[in-house]
Chains A and B, each alone.
Chain A
Amino acid sequence: MTLLIIGTYFVGITLLIGSGFILVGVIGLLKFNDPMTRLHAPTKVGTVGIGMLLIASIVHSFDLGEPSTHELLIMAFLFVTAPISANFIAKVNIHRRACDTPPAPPRDDTWSTLNVEEET
C-alpha cells in the first residue's frame, strides 16, 4: 500500500519536472531570435522533458499492476533520431546563410554543406 503511495507521488513529481522542462523549451523557442540559438531550446530540453514523462508512464504502469516497458524503446529511438533532425535544421540554416558564417575548417577546404555549386 505504501509502495503504491510512493509510486503515485513519484509519478506526480516526474510529470511536473518533465512538463517544467518542456515549458522552458517553449519559452526558449519564443524568446531567442536567431535561428541557430532557437534550435538549442527545443531539441535539448525535449530530451529530459520527454524522458521524465516516459519514466512517469513506466512507474504508473507498474502502479496499476500492468507493467509496461515500451517507453524505454520510445526513449531509445528518440535519443537516436533527435540529433539527426537537429543536424538537418542546422544544415538548412547554414545552406540558406540564415546564420553567421561559420569559421573555415583548419585542415580541409570547406564545410560539406557549403561545398556545392552556386546556382545561377
Chain B
Amino acid sequence: MTRAFQWLIPHPLLTLILTIVWMLLQNELSAGMLVFGFILGIIIPWSTSIWWPDTPKGFRLGKMIRYSFIVIWDIIVANIEVAWIVLTVPSSKLKPAWIVVPLELREPEAITMLAGTITLTPGTVSADLSDKGHSLLVHVLHTDDPDAVRDDIKTRYEARLLEIFT
C-alpha cells in the first residue's frame, strides 16, 4: 500500500503545490478544478521524477511556514532600512563589504533556500558558493560590523533551516 502510494505520489508536497497553483491560475474555487489540479499534481511529479533523484529526507512543514513568516517580516523591516540608506547615505560614505558565511547545511535544497533568503532580505546579496560548497559569499550594502551580519545570518536563518531539513 505504501509502495503504491509512493509510486503514485513521489512528492506529496509538490502535488499539493501544483494543485494550489492550478486553482489560482484558473481563478475559481470549484470541485472540478480541484480534481483537475490534483490530476496534474499527480502526472507532473510522476513524469518528471527522473530529474528529482533524491528527495530531502526530512522536511518539517510547520517550521517552514513559521520560517517564511519570519522572512517576510525581515524583508519588510530591511526594505525600510535600505530605503533609508539609499536616501541618506552619500555613495562616498557607503561601506560595502564581502562576507564569507561558513555553511553547516549540506543539502543543495537547503543551501538554495538560504541563498534565496539572503538575497530577498534587502542589504545583502548572496553572490557565490565556494567550489566544494562549504562557504557562501555574501555582499553587504552598508555595514560597520561585518562579523555581526555573518553571525546574524547564521543564527537567524541557518539554524532554523538546519531544523527544517533534518
- Pair from one complex: yes
List the interface of chain A (C-beta within 8 A of B): 21, 24-25, 27-28, 31-34, 36-37, 39-41, 43-45, 47-48, 68-70, 72-73, 79-80, 82-84, 86-87, 90-91, 93-94, 100, 102-103, 105-113, 115
**Contact A21 to B131, CB < 8 A, known contacts A43-B125, A79-B120:** no
Within the assembled complex, what's the spacing in Å between the Cα atoms of A120 and B91?
Answer: 36
13 more A-B contacts (CB under 8 A) besides A24-B86, A31-B91, A109-B131? A28-B82, A37-B96, A45-B122, A48-B76, A70-B24, A79-B116, A87-B125, A91-B128, A105-B135, A106-B100, A108-B130, A108-B134, A111-B137
Assess whether B12 is interfacial by the CB under 8 Å rule.
no
Within the assembled complex, what's the spacing in Å between the Cα atoms of A72 and B116?
Answer: 18
The answer to whether B79 touches A48 (Cβ under 8 A) is yes
Assess whether B105 is interfacial by the CB under 8 Å rule.
no
- Please name all residues of chain A whose beta carbon is closer than 8 Å to the beta carbon of B102 when the two chains form the complex: 106-107
List the interface of chain B (C-beta within 8 A of A): 21, 24-25, 27, 75-76, 78-79, 82-83, 86-87, 91, 94, 96, 98, 100, 102, 115-116, 118-120, 122-123, 125-135, 137, 139, 141
The answer to whether A69 touches B116 (Cβ under 8 A) is no
Query: In the complex, what residue of chain B is closest to A84 when comparing beta carbons?
Result: B116
- Please name all residues of chain A whose beta carbon is closer than 8 Å to the beta carbon of B122 when the two chains form the complex: 40, 44-45, 47
- Please name all residues of chain B whose beta carbon is closer than 8 Å to the beta carbon of A111 when the two chains form the complex: 128-131, 137
Q: Is the interface of A mostly helix, strand, loop or mixed?
A: helix
The answer to whether A73 touches B21 (Cβ under 8 A) is yes
- Please name all residues of chain B whose beta carbon is closer than 8 Å to the beta carbon of A37 when the two chains form the complex: 91, 94, 96, 141
Within the assembled complex, what's the spacing in Å between the Cα atoms of A8 and B138?
Answer: 41
The answer to whether B27 touches A113 (Cβ under 8 A) is no
Contact of B75 among A47, A109, A113 (CB under 8 A): A47
Contact of A105 among B25, B100, B126 (CB under 8 A): B100
